[in-house]
Amino acid sequence: MNSFPLSRSGASDNGAVVYSGAAVTTTQRLMQPTSHQLTSAEKKAATALALVFSSRMLGLFMLLPVFAIYGSELAGFSPLWIGLAIGAYGFTQALLQIPMGWLSDKIGRHQVMLLGLGLFALGSVVAALADSVYMVTFGRVLQGAGAIAGAVLALAADLTREEQRPKVMAIIGMSIGLSFAAAMVLGPMIAARAGLSGVFWFTAVMAVLAMGLVLRTPKAINQAPQRETLAVPALLGKLLRSPQLLRLNLGILLLHFLLTALFIALPQQLLALDFASETHWQLYLPVLFASFVLMVPMIIVSVRRQQEVVFFRLALLLLLSAALLFWLGPAQLPLLATALLLFFTGFNYLEASLPALLSRQAPAGQKGTAMGLYSSAQFFGAFLGGLVGGLVASRFGLPAVFVLSALLATLWMCLTFGMTITAKAERLSIKLPHNGDEEAKALLQQLSNLPGVIEATLVLQEQRCYLKVEAGRFDYQQLQALQQQ
């Protein structure tokens, strides 16, 4: 093995260990004990960004349980346009998710977030003033154009230490789940009192308040390693051809297809059972709460017993069972409630598991690109669910939407054969000095051979090495031993 001459010369002010041959800057993590708690600044950043993200997602989700009911007074209303209006935001989200992340690198995170929230507020106003389903759909397209997920997550990475970054990302991720639950309750309540336009006015106000939060969020002094936060154009084609990543991307596409398609038909089925629209939240709230209670043990047991593929398929079986119950028991409220519980238990498990699996599967230095493709697939699934679900409902009736859902859940189950789960991994980025390409490549070889290193990627243009290491097996003190080789 080619050696790379290193000699320890001390620790820098920020805790990174500095060698004469390379500066290993993993933000205090590598060579000395660090605090396992978020700093006050990190807590404030996580809270602010979670509120920004969740307020926007709340506005996108609130239309799901109400449009099929309250949109009936709009000109041009039909099952097809129900689906298009519900899923239209996914089209522009899918198209602009990655480009808006790139733009945040050029003009700044805050500027892109303000631009995106401004577009979201504008789309909300357009939809609130609309008297036809076509203008509501156009408003939803504008809402989706405010694709700020990449910028929010990149700013979260910029404002946090590497070892605390997963906690902050988890806080933001949990806020999305909470916003969905809140949308299922607030949507019917607001629509019952202020109509469909009231829902959109509420989302416009939320967007303006979120802009105020952005202005109060600190700006980053340093940028996090870009390949772990944002997509790299040159890597898109390579990751699209990865069979394991492709399974996960198709999975999140199908999951949000099923979610959007469900709310084309379900609200009208509830109305057919004389379940007043203003009380629909009384069904959604306990069902969502119960589904979270059931989902948590599934995640814990699947990880502890290392049976993640088994529980993944179990969640798909819940989705399939739910679709069949929606189809077979539309005239019985207990069956619909049971189907809804099964659906959201499976949905919540998969929604929580898929990003974690994707993070583990993504190659070193390519997580940002993998997550960008994943997010685009997620939103494109919402668009397709609205479009195809609306077409099926208009041509064959609402029950056909559930038949389609059952077929897609079965297809997804088939796609899990050949699915593999890699060991739990952590990611490190090591900034190298400009000491020449050959020395950097020699260091890469040494790092690759350390026990517990799954992958190592050298990016000469950035003078940075990205490591993917086994959680619990990689010993950070091993890096110190490089100086003795």
- Over the chain, what is the mean pLDDT? 83
Q: What span, in angstroms and rounded, lies between the C-alpha atoms of 26 and 164?
A: 11
Q: What is the pLDDT of residues 285-316, one digit of tens each?
A: 999 999 999 998 998 898 888 888 899 999 99
Question: What's 104's domain CATH number?
Answer: 1.20.1250.20
Task: Say yes or no: 355 and 428 in one domain.
Answer: no
What mean pLDDT is predicted for residues 270-294? 90
> Residue 285: which residues within 8 A CB-CB, separation 6 or more?
181, 184, 185
Domain end call among 388, 415, 442: 415
Residue 422 has pLDDT above 80, yes or no: no
Task: Say yes or no: 478 and 349 in one domain.
Answer: no
Residue 25 has pLDDT above 50, yes or no: no
Domain end call among 391, 415, 439: 415
Q: Where is average pLDDT lowest: 322-331, 349-358, 451-460?
A: 451-460
Task: Say yes or no: 458 and 335 in one domain.
Answer: no
C-alpha distances in Å from residue 109, one per residue of 157, 348, 374: 11, 30, 20
Task: Say yes or no: 183 and 79 in one domain.
Answer: yes
Question: What's 433's domain CATH number?
Answer: 3.30.70.100
Task: Say yes or no: 58 and 106 in one domain.
Answer: yes
Task: Say yes or no: 120 and 198 in one domain.
Answer: yes
Task: Say yes or no: 44 and 167 in one domain.
Answer: yes
pLDDT at 225: 63
Q: What is the pLDDT of residues 327-344, one digit of tens each?
A: 987 778 889 999 999 999
Domain end call among 382, 415, 448: 415
pLDDT at 131: 94
What mean pLDDT is predicted for residues 112-141? 95
Task: Say yes or no: 242 and 280 in one domain.
Answer: yes
pLDDT at 242: 86
Tokens 């260990």 — which residue? 17
3 found inside a domain: no
Q: What is the pLDDT of residues 171-219, one digit of tens each?
A: 887 888 888 889 999 999 999 999 999 999 999 999 999 999 999 888 7
Number of domains, the chain: 2
Domain containing 463 equals 8-37+424-484
137 — pLDDT class (breaks 50, 70, 90): very high
95 found inside a domain: yes
Task: Say yes or no: 202 and 345 in one domain.
Answer: yes
Residue 19 has pLDDT above 90, yes or no: no
What mean pLDDT is predicted for residues 355-359? 83
pLDDT at 473: 72
Task: Say yes or no: 473 and 430 in one domain.
Answer: yes
Helix (H) or strand (E) holding 23: strand 23-24
Task: Say yes or no: 29 and 126 in one domain.
Answer: no
2 found inside a domain: no
* Helix, strand, coil percentages in the chain from 3-state DSSP, rounded to 5: 70, 5, 25
Give the closest residue to 156 by CA, choosing from 206, 101, 229, 93.
229
Question: Which 3 state secondary structure label does DSSP give 388?
Answer: helix
pLDDT at 190: 94
Task: Say yes or no: 142 and 26 in one domain.
Answer: no
